[in-house]
Amino acid sequence: MMAGLLSQPFVFIDLETTGGSAPVDRIIEIGLKTVVDGDVVDEWESLVNPEKTIPPFIEDYTGISNSMVQDAPLFADISEVFKSKLEGAVFVAHNARFDYSFVKSEFRRLSVPFSAKVLCTVKLSRQLYPQYTKHNMDALIARHNLPAGPRHRAMGDVDSMLAFFRHSIEELGSDLVEDVIGKILKRPSLPSYLPADVLDELPQTYGVYRFYGENDVLLYVGKANNIYQRVMSHFMSDHSTAKGVVMSQSVRRIEWTETAGELGALLLELQQIKTLKPLHNKRSRSVSSPFSYTLEADKYGYFSLKLVQDVDPSCLDQYYGLFKSHKIAEKAIQGINGANELCAKLLGLDRGKGPCFQYKLGRCKGACLAEEDVTRYNLRMQIAMHSLQLKKWPYAGAIAVKERNDFSGKEAIHLIYAWVHLGTVNNDQELDEFNVSDHVQLRQSASRLFDADAYRVMVRFLLTPKRHFEVIEVG
């Protein structure tokens, strides 16, 4: 007899579906086993007529054909029996948010409320066996020598999940497994003004979320690779800052927009922060004309720094750093000087007469007195400033960046030129109709050509290795 958490009912459930999007696709098979004190006390399975055609690749993947579900019951026909088997139990599934979102969507179509504690066996495996990197079901079966039922059929996957669950208890002990499950099941403390099941509605995909407060004031806009996980983190009891706690407890409503990928989420977040100006986003208060430095030779040929605010995007590699204020810019150069022993006068840090104060301390090699070789000094200056050098646009013209979310099927094509987002279209036909030249000319004739925030977003995304996206040069 198991004690505590493990003695309550756990329903191990697996679904087969017509696709990966719960709002659009439908369930075609359900399999479940209810476990109490480690023993199976109930099991049930059923094919389900999805009221839509099963795509050929799903037929190949699951072995479930359209003819097999033609005479199967509709979800509405089995919904009462199905719900009764889930009530009061922990909902257990592999990649549980997927299965749970489909169950929620099916009940929502019937206007039937449904909510449950959710245990994901992927998360359970990651917590119990952190030394491993792969936690998909095939990896668990191979690693733990589990008996494998028919893969990608509902009851076969349920049996594999249950075998992993029992194996973990046997190998690691019920106390450890129970402790980890308790932590996974712990729900964040939601503000009383939010519905208890609001987190259940959130998708596990790329996108942007928005928090609204009293009188529908926009509090915060955030980007997420997983909207559900990111939003949930705002309401965890161990929030890192008092300001974060105050904001999260002020939320009255949550909205979100799904995107095809991370770049789409980054661009949408930036656009909404700048246009909607949320109360708690620092970027909404960012300066429109950041400070930067250029290197200019003095009358003796030594490189000196000039602080500027007008950045020309056509020659970005001639600028160093992007700073919100003169003070922040100067502090950055002081740090560089401390590590490289350059000349404080040439850096603009010393405006007195005679040699710079660094020279008097033995930390300047005499460029301010023309004692250091000019070529050697200029090389040292360039090396020291290299980390701040802005990135020149690496393409001849505009590019189209294609993103696709295989899980949701969502696609987007982002048009970018000189680190500026020109627009986003949904498919190749819209891309053909998009007049890139007009948008480029519009940007070139605008009074503010350079957006520091957009530049940072583009550079961080486009120049980071190992990102998977398709780039097409379009003009």
Give the DSSP per-residue string, 81-129: HHHHHHTTSEEEETTHHHHHHHHHHHHHHTT------EEEHHHHHHHH-
pLDDT in tens, 440-462: 665 555 435 578 888 999 898 88
Best CA proximity match to 16, nearest among 86, 64, 79: 64
Best CA proximity match to 101, nearest among 25, 178, 195, 186: 25
Best CA proximity match to 415, nearest among 330, 407, 426, 342: 426
Q: Taking the chain, what is the end-to-end CA distance rounded to the nearest angstrom?
A: 70
Residue 466 scores a pLDDT above 90: no
Out of 62-76, 127-141, 280-294, 425-439, least confident range? 280-294
CA distances from 202 to 36, 181, 232, 269 (A): 30, 22, 9, 17
Query: In this predicted structure, what is the pLDDT of residue 281?
Result: 87
How many CB atoms are located within 10 Å of the residue 132 CB?
A: 12
Q: Which residues contact 371 (CB under 8 A, 6 or more apart)?
A: 365
Q: Residue 382: helix, strand or coil by DSSP? A: helix
Q: Residue 340: helix, strand or coil by DSSP? A: helix
- Strand-pairing partners, residue 401, are 414, 471
How many CB atoms are located within 10 Å of the residue 438 CB?
A: 10
Query: In this predicted structure, what is the pLDDT of residue 447?
Result: 39
Q: How far apart are CA 405 and CA 418, in angstroms?
A: 26
Query: In this predicted structure, what is the pLDDT of residue 1?
Result: 41
List the domain boundaries for the chain: 4-185, 198-283, 291-388, 399-473
Residue 420 scores a pLDDT above 70: yes
Return the C-alpha torsion angle 449, 454, 458, 460, nearest 10: 130
Query: In this predicted structure, what is the pLDDT of residue 443?
Result: 58
| Class for the domain spanning 4-185 | alpha beta
CB-CB contact of 128 with 171 (8 Å):
no
Amino acid in the structure at residue 165? F
pLDDT band at 198; cut points 50, 70, 90 = confident
Best CA proximity match to 413, nearest among 395, 396, 432: 432
pLDDT in tens, 182-196: 988 876 667 777 877
Q: How far apart are CA 81 and CA 462, in angstroms?
A: 51
Q: Which residues contact 436 (CB under 8 A, 6 or more apart)?
A: 397, 398, 415, 417, 422, 474, 475
Q: How far apart are CA 83 and CA 8, in angstroms?
A: 17
Residue range 409-432: mean pLDDT, rounded: 87
Residue 45 scores a pLDDT above 70: yes
Which phi and psi (to 5°) does residue 29 adopt? -155, 140
Query: In this predicted structure, what is the pLDDT of residue 69?
Result: 96
Amino acid in the structure at residue 104? K
Out of 274-283, 399-408, 445-454, least confident range? 445-454
CA distances from 83 to 38, 113, 116, 222 (A): 22, 10, 11, 35
Q: How far apart are CA 387 and CA 340, in angstroms?
A: 13
Out of 86-95, 126-135, 227-236, least confident range? 227-236
Residue 64 scores a pLDDT above 50: yes
H/E stretch holding 291? strand 291-297
Give domain 198-283's CATH superfamily: GIY-YIG endonuclease (3.40.1440.10)
CB-CB contact of 39 with 118 (8 Å):
no
Amino acid in the structure at residue 402? K
pLDDT in tens, 324-381: 889 999 999 999 998 898 999 999 998 888 899 888 888 899 999 999 999 999 999 9
State CA 475 to chain mean position distance.
Answer: 30
pLDDT band at 285; cut points 50, 70, 90 = low
Residue 383 scores a pLDDT above 60: yes
Query: In this predicted structure, what is the pLDDT of residue 241?
Result: 60
Residue 469 scores a pLDDT above 50: yes
Q: Residue 166: helix, strand or coil by DSSP? A: helix
Best CA proximity match to 51, nearest among 30, 76, 32, 31: 76
Query: In this predicted structure, what is the pLDDT of residue 51?
Result: 95
Query: In this predicted structure, what is the pLDDT of residue 190?
Result: 74
Query: In this predicted structure, what is the pLDDT of residue 446?
Result: 46
pLDDT in tens, 108-153: 899 998 888 899 999 999 999 999 999 999 999 999 999 877 777 8
Structure tokens at 348: 């603009």
Query: In this predicted structure, what is the pLDDT of residue 67?
Result: 96
Q: Is the pTM of this model over 0.75?
A: no
Which phi and psi (to 5°) does residue 473 adopt? -80, 125
CA distances from 351 to 346, 354, 355, 368 (A): 9, 9, 10, 11
Out of 74-88, 173-187, 223-237, 390-404, least confident range? 223-237
Query: In this predicted structure, what is the pLDDT of residue 450?
Result: 73
